[in-house]
Structure 1
Amino acid sequence: MEHLERCAYFVKVAWAWTFCLLLPFITLTNYHLTGKAGLVLRRLSTLLVGTAIWYVGTAVFANIEHYTGSCYQSPALEGVRKEHQSKRQCHGEGGFWHGFDISGHSFLLTFCTLMIVEEMAVLHEVRTDRSHWLHAAITTLGVALGFLTFIWVWMFLCTAVYFHNLSQKMFGTLFGLLGWYGTYGCWYLKSFSPGLPPQSSSLNLKQDSYKK
């Protein structure tokens, strides 16, 4: 049980781990490919968008749990304690708050994993001299992000087995998918957005031909 609690805490800061690794990765790879600081800053704004999605998503989930929940005297949902109108107050008095608790873990792990995969696609375009420090830096960050992605997938599977019920996990995963598709699948394709990771002109032409 203690091991599961530690894993749960590690997942709670999943966005912080993802942010800290993607920040230097996006900076180095995008500047290497474009050579323009303005474009790099524009692409780094994806991290601000991701932070907003994380913050709004978790706040919405907390409010849903609050407005659909009640305080009980026991885990068996016996004895409603109507005098406690919030989860914090309920727990502070030794009660058990029960509401529709959408899985924030499923939401966050889904979104973080897909965002890392989207940003790491730029590695197909990066060509660096093996003896240059940039090659070592980008390779190290790439390996670290790959390892982090493995951890997030593993944690997602653990969440699926040990935490929440099926509907709560499905809603959490759905919101994670919506966060990813709404940004990388829709908004980032527009000119007034942070944009997608830089790609070669040949790939852009190929994508345009598919769209036609």
Structure 2
Amino acid sequence: MAGLERSAGLLGALLARRAARRGLPWLLLLLLLLGSAARALGLPPPSYLSLKRNLLNVYFVKLAWAWTFWLLLPFIGVTNYCLTRNVQDVLRRLSTLLVGTAVWYVCTQFFMYIENLTGSCYKSSALDVLHREHQNKHHCHQAGGFWHGFDISGHSFLLTYCALMIVEEMAVLEVLNTDRSSRLHGVVNALFIALSFLVTIWVLMFLSTAVYFHDFSHKLFGTLVGLSAWYGTYRFWYLKPFSPGLPPQNTCLSSKKSSYSR
């Protein structure tokens, strides 16, 4: 329990702060530029992360929204109930996960639509022989062909959006104060550490995508969509009365002290 407490305190000082929420978007853009520049210059040598079947990609990135959803669900529910003791307010805040699911679904469908709209089917990745009879990616792949279109990076989008959403929800720890000897305190610490672990993976794999995969324009577009989805929700819509709202923060609960920053 003491180790869990120390880990939560250290991570809280790094991630559950306003500086993290302000700095992470700029960090992601910087990683995108540096990683893409390294790729263009041929600097990064092949590594385990350059393999599409690496464990982090297969078991985490491919399921990024599922991991984010199922860890944020108890975290938002428990922390917001501790602060408000109001089931209606908790349900309102949990609706952010429904919004996030809608954002994930709409954006990924839009990316596939753009790739189909702009692409053509070729016999191989050399793009030498065009199969005009196959007009979409699904039919092209069924015929053993190679579809080439504007392939917006879904990884860049989703990892950006998930990392920013988690860090935004961690803001609640700035005002949450639970009894250190209680089981609830241990549950919140464990969920916070798990979410911090996820953020670390999302940022690492975002960098891996920038270094090893996709054209720069594909990654840039995906990242900008992720940033726009975060900004449109947490920096615009969630400030309005008719919205899921922001996590409880110092501005509305200034009398409470955080036990995670010590």
TM above 0.5: yes
Aligned residues: 204
Task: Quote the residue 1:175 is aligned against.
Answer: 225
Q: What is the correspondence of 1:72-111 to structure 2 with a 5 Å cutoff?
A: 72-111=122-161
Task: Quote the residue 1:67 is aligned against.
Answer: 117
> RCO greater where, 1 or 2, for CA within 8 Å and sep 6 or more?
2
CA RMSD of aligned residues (A): 1.5
Task: Quote the residue 1:208 is aligned against.
Answer: none
Task: Quote the residue 1:45 is aligned against.
Answer: 95
The letter for the 2-side match of 1:110 is: T
1:190-211 Cα deviation digits (max 9, x unpaired): 000000001245667xxxxxxx
Task: Quote the residue 2:53 is aligned against.
Answer: 5
Structure 2 gap segments, 5+ residues each = 1-47, 255-262
Runs of 4+ off more than 6 Å? none
Q: What is the correspondence of 1:116-195 to structure 2 with a 5 Å cutoff?
A: 116-195=166-245
1:56-84 Cα deviation digits (max 9, x unpaired): 00000000000100000111111110011
Residues 3 and 76 of structure 1: CA distance in aligned 2, closer, same or farther (over 3 Å): closer
Q: Secondary structure at the match of 1:4?
A: coil
Q: Which has the higher helix share?
A: 1
Q: Provide the C-alpha distance between the structure 1 equivalents of 2:186 and 2:105, rounded to a whole number of angstroms.
A: 33
Q: Provide the C-alpha distance between the structure 2 equivalents of 1:62 and 1:146, rounded to a whole number of angstroms.
A: 30
1:114-160 Cα deviation digits (max 9, x unpaired): 00000001111111111111100000000000011000000000110
Q: Provide the C-alpha distance between the structure 2 equivalents of 1:92 and 1:70, rounded to a whole number of angstroms.
A: 14
2:163 is aligned with 1:113:
yes
Q: Provide the C-alpha distance between the structure 1 equivalents of 2:212 and 2:141, rounded to a whole number of angstroms.
A: 22
- Percent of residue pairs identical: 64
How much has 1:184 moved relative to structure 2? 0.2
Q: Provide the C-alpha distance between the structure 2 equivalents of 1:123 and 1:200, rounded to a whole number of angstroms.
A: 10
Given that 2:171 and 2:248 are in contact with CA atoms closer than 8 Å, whether structure 1 keeps it comes out as no
Task: Quote the residue 1:24 is aligned against.
Answer: 74
Q: Provide the C-alpha distance between the structure 1 equivalents of 2:177 and 2:163, rounded to a whole number of angstroms.
A: 24
